[in-house]
Homo-oligomer: A and B are copies of this chain.
């Protein structure tokens, strides 16, 4: 593929929009079908191309796949999220690195962006949370783009996950995503959405 920016400005096909948005669903049950590590790696690599403030890339992704790792995660889960998470082929912990700014001399060499953050804890925390959550959104759509299904969740004890998976205290969990090939038979009814005018306005 060429590195030149695209200039054709076409809307994606209806099939692609369906896979990403209009027919994609949050899954709660999983088919017995293997999820190759290569697809998880591809989804992360795609998501990393998404924009962040000063290219700060604060998101960290931990894939909980093995039985041992799942057992470490289990005590932190809300009861309603336990069984589906244990059954998922993989569960991603989407987290952010509060030391993200130490990488800015390499990631954003145009200026001394590290100095914007060093010592400014509120700015560090807001920037890490905002941008890593954006990256979580890119990652969720990247999973769908490589043909996987996702089941994102906020129902867990962040402090327990942090103590177990990020004991150095610099990385903080944000949300979880169960990943696999979803079982359509286990979908819940789809929730309604706002009409454009309820969520947006043009001035």
Residues of A within 8 A of B (CB): 1-14, 16-26, 37, 40-42, 44-51, 53, 55, 57, 59-66, 68-69, 103, 106-108, 110, 127, 129-130, 133-138, 140-142, 145-150, 152, 154, 174-175, 181-182, 184, 187-188, 191-194, 196, 199-203
Contacts and interface: CB of A to CB of B under 8 A. Distances in A.
A11 B4 CA distance: 22
A73 B165 CA distance: 42
29 contacts: A1-B14, A1-B18, A5-B182, A6-B19, A9-B147, A9-B149, A11-B42, A11-B146, A12-B12, A12-B16, A12-B20, A12-B146, A16-B16, A45-B196, A48-B193, A48-B194, A51-B150, A57-B194, A60-B199, A61-B199, A62-B200, A63-B200, A63-B203, A65-B202, A108-B191, A127-B154, A130-B154, A137-B137, A138-B140
Contacts of A203: 62-66, 68-69
B21 A50 contact: yes
Contact of A134 (B136, B149, B191): B136
B7 A199 contact: no
A20 B196 CA distance: 23
A199 B48 contact: yes
A172 B107 CA distance: 29
Given A11-B146, A65-B203, A51 B152 contact: yes
Given A20-B145, A63-B201, A134-B137, 15 more contacts: A3-B23, A4-B184, A11-B146, A12-B20, A17-B145, A20-B46, A21-B46, A44-B196, A44-B200, A49-B193, A57-B193, A130-B174, A133-B134, A133-B137, A141-B141
